[in-house]
Amino acid sequence: MKTKLTALVPIALALSACGAAPTAASNPDAFARGAAVKTLDGGKLDSLPTGPVYIRMIRFAQPAGYVIHSKQHVPSVVYVETGVHRLTLNGQPPIDLTAGQATFHQSVAHTHLNPGPDPSVWYSIALWPSSARGQPLVDPIAQAAFESEDIVRDGLPQVAYSQVLRQVTLAKAGTPGAHRFGGLSAFYVLSGSVTIKIAHRPSVTLSLGDGLAVLPDVALQEINAGPGQAVYLEFITTAVGKDFEVPLQQPPAA
């Protein structure tokens, strides 16, 4: 498991030439190809936790019939990688999920059940207050798959936020194109390997089980770096009123 955080301040380029500057031609390398992006689920946060925060993805390998009773904690997304999963929120009707499905839930007491007959692997994905670091996880089978570094709140206004989980599948040499997210983004590789180009930073290559967190408004481009298909998750937390995602006409500048 690798933990990485890209902290990048957007650079404003001052143009001193007289008259309007010509628009740079689009670069075909920045365009999407061989990519399938699927929105799995999302929800709303009324506010962020107080103080510094971090993104954490907790992995559970849950035997058939095994039950986890979880107390109230931060709003989270449950994503199922393999098998089946039954989530029951504070006595509400159960939500059954199968592989490749996800659901967002607010901060309420809940239970996680593997109704079987086979083991399942699933993740709890959330933005946590940094004060939660080092506290025991909910159950012995829980393992931290990815944790970002602490993220200071200077660039994160205290407003409502949306959270979205997407699954991206890339064919060989595929890319979703150059873009920037308006909010915090985190990436986690489920299969294959992915190289992420980041404006004014060295590229980062992530393999199975690796994660990366990136601050808002940073130019990015993810490219399949392996010989076969690559699949990864995107977890994006965006302040209400900001653009969720903006496509770019040029690859990120080195």
pLDDT tens column, 211-246 = 999 999 999 999 998 999 999 999 999 999 999 999
Which residues are CB-neighbours of 176 under 8 A, at least 6 positions away? 32, 35, 37, 168, 170, 221, 222
Cα–Cα dist 144/239, whole Å: 26
Q: Where in the chain is the domain with CATH 2.60.120.10?
A: 31-48+154-247, 53-147
pTM of the model: 0.89
**CATH superfamily of the 53-147 domain:** Jelly Rolls (2.60.120.10)
Q: Strands 33-45 and 67-70, how do they pair?
A: unpaired
* pLDDT at residue 24, rounded to an integer: 62
Cα–Cα dist 239/183, whole Å: 6
- The sign of the dihedral angle between the CA atoms of 84, 74, 52, 143 is negative
Cα–Cα dist 212/4, whole Å: 5
Q: What does the block give as tokens for 147?
A: 């944790």
Beta bridge partners of 150: none
pLDDT tens column, 85-100 = 999 999 799 999 999 9
At the top level of CATH, which class does the domain 31-48+154-247 belong to? mainly beta
Q: What does the block give as tokens for 27?
A: 């670069």
* pLDDT at residue 91, rounded to an integer: 79
* pLDDT at residue 73, rounded to an integer: 83
Sheet with 194-198, edge to edge strand ranges: 201-206, 194-198, 219-224, 179-181, 245-247
